Structure 1
Amino acid sequence: MNRRNFLGLGVGAGAAAALAACGSSGPSGGSSSGGSSGGGGAASYWSLSGPPGEPVRQAAIDRFNKANPDSKITPTFFQNDAYKQKIKTSLGANQGPTMIWGWGGGGLKEYVDSNLVEDLTGWLGENAAVKDKILASSFGAATVNGKIYALPVETVQPIVLFYNKKVFEKVGVQPPQSWGEIMALVPKFNAAKIAPFSLGGQSRWTNMMWLEFLLDRTAGSEVFDRVFAGEKDAWSDPAVLDMLTKIQDLVKANGFQKGFSSTTADSNADQALLYTGKAAMMLHGSWSYGIQVSNGGNFVKDGGLGWMNFPAVEGGKGDPSNTVGNPGQYLSISSKATAEAKDVAKKFFSTTLVDDDEKAGWVKSGGVPVLKNSESLFTGGDAQFLKDMAGIANGAKVFAQSWDQALSPTAAETLLDNIAKLFQLQVSPQQWVDSMNGVIGK
């Protein structure tokens, strides 16, 4: 299973069930037939099947239907790939659901450009108490052209820098607090025959996390905002060349394990390098914690795993509190639904999806909710990690969505291809920029 399989952060007893985050190839289980936009006092809801998400989603619908017997919601759950195909064709044929589950970003922008989803900006303004219950940083991927078209729901999953405390003690060094310290650690770990960083480079999206953080720390969020907005030649910002050069400097310094470009994240081979002490550090999503718990024996239990937000870059303009990853999952309302169905959806948004049971359900599943003030629910051996992830998400001035989710499918594929070539030193920074400028807005 890979990052793109399903939503969820696996921790504790639930670790084996939820080892990855959201995206392109979906969870097993579940099937569906068509739905409708919802009529009368009813609404329909389409989403993803399988644990850990489906049981929590179903529980929310059951709570709402029990409290509102005259305004029932009918759910339909799909496998991920089937869902992504079905939702597009159904919405285009005016046969889609009232409520549309998604990842925000580029996919949401396509819906907005086709006038398929409701503008929720005014409604959220009138219902400020609802918006205030949700982490502010989760709204970025729900926003297109300054307007909000989806409600952030479910969980947040920041990318963090994990490290093996035992390896650091062995080499006699401290976790890096800057990019300069990262580069200074590389030869020290190499001298001890330990890979400075583990990287599942064959999977490409793992490499992308390095670019996302380095560009943010170097230039702030504004550069990628211009790319997302479709501004011509937005990748030509000097900060991009600086970031790309830094990446290749790290590769040339043997910052990653030998053969990293053939290591897969799907097999969790990159994870194993960290918990076995063959690598000192790994930049990865918060879901990695569950993999370390599940597969690493007593590594986490014995206090071997450390984590931190990505450090600052010397002279960089970016706020070191910023993070990247999955700032939430998202529910939109179909613009084609009846007025009655839209009202049911908005009632669901303003009551059930922001109540205490919703918050508790996602924590029990092993996730950090998008809802504020969840920390008191974090208990047991995983409590500190969950609190820290919530702290990163809540404290981020900007929680940037993963680039391949923020961009269109066409631009995302070109991005991932060029990132792989960059790490393999097959393209220069300038060639990378030229290629990426060619797919802006496509």
Structure 2
Amino acid sequence: MAALAAAATALSLAACGSSGPSAASSGKGLTMWVLNDQTTIKESVEAYNKDHPDEKITLRMFANDDYKQKLRVAFGANQAPDLFFNWGGGALEDYVKAGKVDALESGEVDLPRFMPSVLDSATLDGKFYGVPANGITPVVLYYNKKVLKDAGAEPPKTYDELLTAVQKLKGEGVTPISLAANSKWPTLMYLEYLLDREGGHTVFEKIAAGDSTAWKDPAVTKANSRLQELVEAGAFGGNASSVGYDQGAATALLHTGKAGMELMGTWEYANLVKAAPDFVEKDLGYVPFPVLPRGKGDPRNIVGNPSNFLSLKAKSKNKSAALTYLKDYVMNDAQIDSFLATGSVPPVNKLESKLASVKSPDNKKWLTFVYELVRDAENFQLSWDQDLPSDQADPLLTNVDKSFLRQIDPEQFGVNMSKAAK
């Protein structure tokens, strides 16, 4: 628990920025750019540099808000680093299509060690353009055991059970589901899951592939209808739009017993450990997002951030050294142990023996839950605002918020996004 609490701030930055940039090391050899919060990557670079004093990695670390723009400028000026940190999805695809990124051969970096559903986010036309570089962060439904028990509600396994729990929690004067709607991206998580459960993962795959008409698919409309149904049922209380995520208010509602549930990425576990370790030990529960029994989606599908990736720029003069680092220093035993110690599950196969050796029963239960959730997933959908081209991310979040506020009807959401995607 202590180790998890120490890592909570770094893990929460999967959803927000930090400050920078700064140079972490210097010397001849290849260059690498990552975010400030990637301490495990920093440690792996230090290990590599110790073993390769004549071809060290020069590491630069940036704040999240600055990073994407600096990377675009660097590529445009032909000054990009040899290895660069990215989110996969649409942003990486833009660089690939521009000929800025080298494909990685499976044998060069031992890709079979990684979970297939995670690798998909850095795969284009059957080729791999990145090595997973940090822990998996699917979105799960957390709940307060005591609050649900006092309300006579069960952890929901189906959408209908979710609606039932909402009514029971409302009856007890508790906010059924904590939501930081002011930040918009937490609301997006609901729409991502509802579309997948309603129509299956292929609907959004068409959208991500550039088919703007797919936004008008009936499943998109139905997903928005269900989101608005939850709002109308009072699932999120009366002031969700005034709650932001970064201040920790949504997290606090759950662990203080003022809310029954919260849908959030797995980084929230470490935040809860830091804020309320007693709550984690006694009253924290978690389940996958509820199933739609009549929906087309596979109930094993998950959404979130499969991983971040390290990708190799095209025509790097230090390709050999870069491949050595990616193969031998990324997700090696030391890194895997480091991730597990901070409550984060690395995206590698065959973790069962390491999970079995985790000493804390609570931590072991949590890590095993996340590992099996991703291992068994038929599809792991990257967050839409990361998967789509950057010029669609703002219209997406704006229209998600409008749908949540019921300022547009469910069908209008698809119409608006179809126009934004053209």
TM-score bin (small chain): over 0.9
What TM-score do you get using the length of structure 2 for normalisation? 0.93
Indicate conservation of the 8 Å contact 1:378/1:386, yes or no: no
Give the alignment's Cα RMSD to 1 decimal. 2.3
Which residue identity lines up with residue 45 of structure 1 in the other structure?
M
**Does the C-alpha gap of structure 1 residues 237 and 161 become closer, same or farther in structure 2, counting only changes over 3 Å?**
same
Structure 1: unaligned runs, 5 residues or longer: 1-8
What is the CA-CA distance between 1:66 and the residue it aligns to? 3.2
What is the CA-CA distance between 1:383 and the residue it aligns to? 2.3
Q: Distance in 1 between matches of 2:147 and 2:343?
A: 27
Within the candidate set 157, 167, 175, 1:177 is matched to 157
- Does residue 48 (structure 1) correspond to residue 28 (structure 2)? The answer is no
- Does residue 359 (structure 1) correspond to residue 336 (structure 2)? The answer is yes
Which residue identity lines up with residue 22 of structure 2 in the other structure?
S
Match of 1:316 in 2: 295
- Does residue 12 (structure 1) correspond to residue 4 (structure 2)? The answer is yes
Match of 2:379 in 1: 398
Q: Distance in 2 between matches of 1:113 and 1:350?
A: 25
- Does residue 247 (structure 1) correspond to residue 227 (structure 2)? The answer is yes
Which residue identity lines up with residue 353 of structure 1 in the other structure?
V
What TM-score do you get using the length of structure 1 for normalisation? 0.89
Match of 2:324 in 1: 347
Indicate conservation of the 8 Å contact 1:10/1:289, yes or no: no
Q: Distance in 2 between matches of 1:170 and 1:89?
A: 55
The residue matched to 1:255 in structure 2 has which SS? coil
**Does the C-alpha gap of structure 1 residues 385 and 154 become closer, same or farther in structure 2, counting only changes over 3 Å?**
same
Q: Distance in 2 between matches of 1:11 and 1:328?
A: 21
Pairwise mapping of residues 202-281 of structure 1 onto structure 2 (< 5 A)? 202-281=182-261
- Does residue 61 (structure 1) correspond to residue 48 (structure 2)? The answer is no
What is the CA-CA distance between 1:49 and the residue it aligns to? 1.8
Structure 2: unaligned runs, 5 residues or longer: none
Match of 1:332 in 2: 311
What is the CA-CA distance between 1:81 and the residue it aligns to? 2.5
Q: Distance in 2 between matches of 1:33 and 1:133?
A: 28
**Does the C-alpha gap of structure 1 residues 256 and 145 become closer, same or farther in structure 2, counting only changes over 3 Å?**
same
Within the candidate set 51, 61, 68, 1:84 is matched to 68
Q: Distance in 1 between matches of 2:357 and 2:161?
A: 36
The residue matched to 1:18 in structure 2 has which SS? helix
Indicate conservation of the 8 Å contact 1:323/1:399, yes or no: yes
Within the candidate set 99, 113, 117, 2:97 is matched to 113
What is the CA-CA distance between 1:280 and the residue it aligns to? 1.0
Within the candidate set 161, 164, 168, 2:148 is matched to 168
* Deviation by residue 1:331-369 (Cα, 9 ceiling, x = unmatched): 11110312xx11111121121213211211222343211
Indicate conservation of the 8 Å contact 1:10/1:18, yes or no: no
Within the candidate set 407, 422, 434, 2:415 is matched to 434
Which residue identity lines up with residue 18 of structure 2 in the other structure?
P
| Between 398-407 and 379-388, the greater mean CA deviation after superposition | 379-388
Q: Distance in 1 between matches of 2:396 and 2:389?
A: 10
Indicate conservation of the 8 Å contact 2:14/2:267, yes or no: no
The residue matched to 1:116 in structure 2 has which SS? coil
| Between 232-241 and 362-371, the greater mean CA deviation after superposition | 362-371
Match of 1:306 in 2: 285
| Between 61-70 and 223-232, the greater mean CA deviation after superposition | 61-70
What is the CA-CA distance between 1:113 and the residue it aligns to? 2.1
**Does the C-alpha gap of structure 1 residues 289 and 344 become closer, same or farther in structure 2, counting only changes over 3 Å?**
same
Indicate conservation of the 8 Å contact 1:10/1:291, yes or no: no
Which residue identity lines up with residue 194 of structure 1 in the other structure?
V
Match of 1:3 in 2: none
**Does the C-alpha gap of structure 1 residues 411 and 377 become closer, same or farther in structure 2, counting only changes over 3 Å?**
farther
Identity of aligned residues (%): 36
* Deviation by residue 1:59-84 (Cα, 9 ceiling, x = unmatched): 21232233344443222222222322
Match of 1:74 in 2: 58
- Give the count of matched residue pairs: 418
Pairwise mapping of residues 134-145 of structure 1 onto structure 2 (< 5 A)? 134-145=114-125
What is the CA-CA distance between 1:152 and the residue it aligns to? 1.5
Indicate conservation of the 8 Å contact 1:133/1:354, yes or no: no
Indicate conservation of the 8 Å contact 1:179/1:312, yes or no: yes
Q: Distance in 2 between matches of 1:91 and 1:156?
A: 27
What is the CA-CA distance between 1:189 and the residue it aligns to? 1.5
Q: Distance in 2 between matches of 1:236 and 1:433?
A: 5
Q: Distance in 2 between matches of 1:427 and 1:399?
A: 29
